[in-house]
Amino acid sequence: MEVVAQSGPDYFVFKDSIYNNPIDAANVKGIRIPFKAKMRSYYLFQDLSTNKKEALALGGSLQWNPSIFSEHITGRVTLATSQKIYGPLDRDGTMLLKPGQEGFAVLQEYALKFKKNKFLLNIGAREMNNPLLNTSDVRMLPATHRGIDINYLFKEDSYISFGVVDQIKWINSDRFVDLYEFAGFDKNELVWGSANRYKTDKMAFGFYYLNAKDYYHGLYTEYYREFTLSNNPMKLGFQYMHENDIGDGIGGDFNFNMIGTKLDFSIYGIKSFIGYTNVLSKDKAQEIWSIMPYYNMMIFNFFNRPKEQSIKLGVILEFSEVLKLYPNMGFGFTPNSGDVASPNQQEYNLTFDYTFLKDFNLKVRGAFVHQNSIGNLNLESKDIVDFRIILNYNWSNKF
């Protein structure tokens, strides 16, 4: 059954990534191609009422995947860059470039993969793609993490994985740093985790866990099922995420809990979706080493503020195989009093998606955010404008 819509981050299928970077969750599927190149041009403008951010960057990556000794051992080396075309210093902060609107180049991946039958071992720095450690690919370059993990693929798209991670290269950085240093702590420890997924033709269930000594304990779980109702395909999903401090609690006390559900369906042949999320706690999400996959994630908003409930609606208008429009509306509701009071907010956005000359993809994205005033707390309304133009080109060759 075809998934009827892509309503947000979905780390089980992610077939239609808005950033044209499909997730291969365990890196065990697909045809090995020795050379791959990706080009990306990215313009971002944000008017945040109090300040403006703006930059235009050009860059991409070149990846080499050689076989080593045998077909069971392959390597991965990726060089990447993001260079400034335009970027006023007084409009810094887009994260397309380094702080100070500086371009950069980086050795983004260096890894070995050992695959034999149903076992897979990864060693080195690479793109990791699970809900708690992922590429966070929302700017010019994805994030990469360094570590070791072992995977057992007991059936297609179903696996058990265990691993440890020690370093991260963030999306606008030119170097790897220890995870604890990146989080702002004078400490160096391994972070360990487990990823588990079971998938059939019509359902999937996943459980992901991450543990950082004296700092962080996190888990993410998701279930979805595809079904038909009156001959119309539908997909119903549920997600739960949790974070809390552990041990010495060097990051302070926190306890974050969030639930979400979404329904993908079709109305008169138009792919549609509705999502609901609820932050059950008064604490903020940590999100130190990755962006978490909230069902109601928008272009600007994540709708993950303390005690925030949100509703997201949208459709996918497919005019042809190469031209699509993605209009979305999101509404977030938070307390109007108390220590976590914040303005309610609405986001309206639109993505224009056009593929041309087979390998070129153009996305033009615009968002408008309105925040309501809270008179008794002197919280004034604020309007935010976000505009992006993203051009992607993917090239591969086989030798």
Average pLDDT over residues 317-336: 95
Neighbours of 334 (CB within 10 A): 21
pLDDT score for 395: 83
Please check whether residue 392 lies inside any domain of the structure.
Answer: yes
pLDDT score of 201 more than 80: yes
239: domain range? 35-274+285-296+316-329+354-367+379-397
Please check whether residue 311 lies inside any domain of the structure.
Answer: no
pLDDT score for 179: 97
d(CA 84, CA 330): 32
pLDDT tens for 82-123 read: 999 999 999 999 999 999 999 999 999 999 999 988 999 999
Please check whether residue 303 lies inside any domain of the structure.
Answer: no
pLDDT score for 257: 97
Task: Give the chain's domain count.
Answer: 1
pLDDT score for 278: 98
pLDDT tens for 20-71 read: 222 233 333 334 457 889 999 999 999 998 899 999 999 999 999 888 777 7
- Arithmetic mean of pLDDT over the chain: 88
pLDDT tens for 203-216 read: 999 999 999 999 99
Please check whether residue 341 lies inside any domain of the structure.
Answer: no
pLDDT tens for 58-67 read: 999 999 988 8
pLDDT score for 263: 95
pLDDT score of 348 more than 50: yes
pLDDT score of 333 more than 60: yes
Write the secondary structure of the chain as one string of H (helix), E (strand) and C (coil).
Answer: CCCCCCCCCCCCCCCCCCCCCCCCCCCCCCCCCCEEEEEEEEEEEEECCCCEEEEEEEEEEEEECCEECEEEEEEEEEEEEEEEEECCHHHCCCCCCECCCECEEEEEEEEEEEEECCEEEEEEEECCCCCCCCCCCCCCCCCEEEEEEEEEEEECCEEEEEEEEEEEECCCCCCCEEHHHHCCCCCCCCEEEEEEEEECCCEEEEEEEEEECCCEEEEEEEEEEEEEECCEEEEEEEEEEEEECCCCCCCCCCEEEEEEEEEEEEECCEEEEEEEEEECCCCCCCCCCCCCCCCCCCCCCCCCCCCCEEEEEEEEEECCCCEEEEEEEEEEECCCCCCCCCCCEEEEEEEEEEEECCCEEEEEEEEEEEECCEHHHCECCEEEEEEEEEEEEEEEECC
For the chain, give the percent of residues with pLDDT over 70: 89
Residues in contact with 124: Cβ distance below 8 Å, sequence separation at least 6, in sequence order: 76, 109, 110, 111, 112, 146
Question: Which residue bears the tokens 């999502």?
Answer: 275
pLDDT score for 230: 82
Please check whether residue 305 lies inside any domain of the structure.
Answer: no
Please check whether residue 335 lies inside any domain of the structure.
Answer: no
pLDDT score for 308: 97
pLDDT score for 119: 93
Please check whether residue 185 lies inside any domain of the structure.
Answer: yes
**CATH number reported for the structural domain that contains residue 97 in this entry:** 2.40.160.10
Please check whether residue 322 lies inside any domain of the structure.
Answer: yes
pLDDT score of 244 more than 70: yes
Confidence band, pLDDT 50/70/90 cuts, at residue 398? very low
pLDDT score of 379 more than 70: no
pLDDT score for 151: 94
